[in-house]
Structure 1
Amino acid sequence: MTTWRTRIEPFTRPLFFAWSRLSRGMTLGVRGVAVDAEGRVLLVKHTYLHGWWLPGGGVDRGETTHAAVIRELREEAGVIATGEPRLLSAHSNEAFFPGDHVLVFRLDAFEMAERTSHGEIAEIGWFHPHALPADATRATRDRLAEIFGDAAPDPNW
């Protein structure tokens, strides 16, 4: 589904990147892999990007990466952690945004509630890691293949 936000994102991205670079020399993001009792993983569709993504976002100044992934899962998908997220991997996102890094966490213990972010996420869905939707992003597919034993870890996002 193409929205006005999806259409303007390519034009606003350079402004966002410029602001990010001015406000911090290096950026750090997190992605959360929430796995339910049936072994399915949670993916989200943004209102401003194409495809299915692992939920996540930027780490705020003064915030730990654990707190960031817990916050992002709650905001974007209504996932409330009842256990500690486990760090799985760290990746350089240099090809997309110089100086950016992404940490991937897994969360197996959680409860579901209402999302706290409105307007950012168009849809959430639970998918078997070997039966992802056709428009799941390449990075999402790569990370899940690494996590579920189908590929060797890649340090690049």
Structure 2
Amino acid sequence: MTWRARIEPFTRPVFFAVSRLQRGMTLGVRTVAIDGEGRVMLVKHTYLYGWWLPGGGVDRGEDCPAAAVRELREETGLVATAPPRLISVHSNERFFRGDHVLVFAVDAFTVGERTSHGEIAEIGWFHPDALPDDAHRSTRDRLAEIFGGVSASPAW
């Protein structure tokens, strides 16, 4: 476990308190990229446990599809060659009051260089029915909705 993962449980409440003072609502994106073998790209952060869909926060003045494309490239090196498709919208109240997450699919991409240094510990391709044991619950839920025919939950 990295030092960032060890201190994250202590620093996250401070981050949330500062964020709450600066803005009433937060907006994030996650991206589902599928390769030719039907595998999904997942990332492992240096500061969170488990495997996640690539994504992050929408910057001020940035639209959501652009944020999805940017985060995908930064975290994985995948460069979208077609506009992302909105799949679902979720409220993340369980994790952070006022937070919302939009899930996009990227159907076409090329492989480039990752530009996020120090944030991503690992990237990997996984079949949706053979996810790593430590895939985060939200990752499992979103992939079950997309590939398993489960109804999309409004909650993250």
The structural deviation recorded for 1:149 is 3.0
1:121 aligned partner: 120
Paired amino acid for 1:118: H
Paired amino acid for 1:11: F
Counterpart-to-counterpart distance in 2, 1:87 and 1:152: 16
1:137 aligned partner: 136
CA RMSD of aligned residues (A): 0.7
After the TM superposition, list the runs of 4 or more consecutive aligned residues in structure 1 that deviate by more than 3 angstroms.
Answer: none
Counterpart-to-counterpart distance in 2, 1:74 and 1:153: 26
2:94 aligned partner: 95
Counterpart-to-counterpart distance in 2, 1:117 and 1:81: 16
Query: % of aligned pairs identical?
Result: 75
Counterpart-to-counterpart distance in 2, 1:95 and 1:6: 20
The structural deviation recorded for 1:19 is 1.6
User: Are 2:57 and 1:75 equivalent residues in the alignment?
Assistant: no
Name the SS for the 1:5 alignment partner: helix
The structural deviation recorded for 1:147 is 0.6
1:21 aligned partner: 20
Counterpart-to-counterpart distance in 1, 2:114 and 2:18: 27
Give the TM-score taking structure 2 as reference length: 0.98
Paired amino acid for 1:31: R
User: Are 2:45 and 1:49 equivalent residues in the alignment?
Assistant: no
Cα deviations across residues 26-82 of structure 1 (Å, max 9, x unaligned)? 000000000111111000000111100000000011000001000000100001000
1:33 aligned partner: 32
In structure 1, runs of 5+ residues without a counterpart are: none
Paired amino acid for 1:46: H
Paired amino acid for 1:108: D
Cα deviations across residues 90-139 of structure 1 (Å, max 9, x unaligned)? 00000110000000000110001110010000000000011100000000
1:11 aligned partner: 10
Counterpart-to-counterpart distance in 2, 1:82 and 1:17: 34
Name the SS for the 1:14 alignment partner: helix
Give the TM-score taking structure 1 as reference length: 0.98
1:62 aligned partner: 61
Counterpart-to-counterpart distance in 2, 1:50 and 1:39: 25
Aligned length: 156
The structural deviation recorded for 1:150 is 3.5
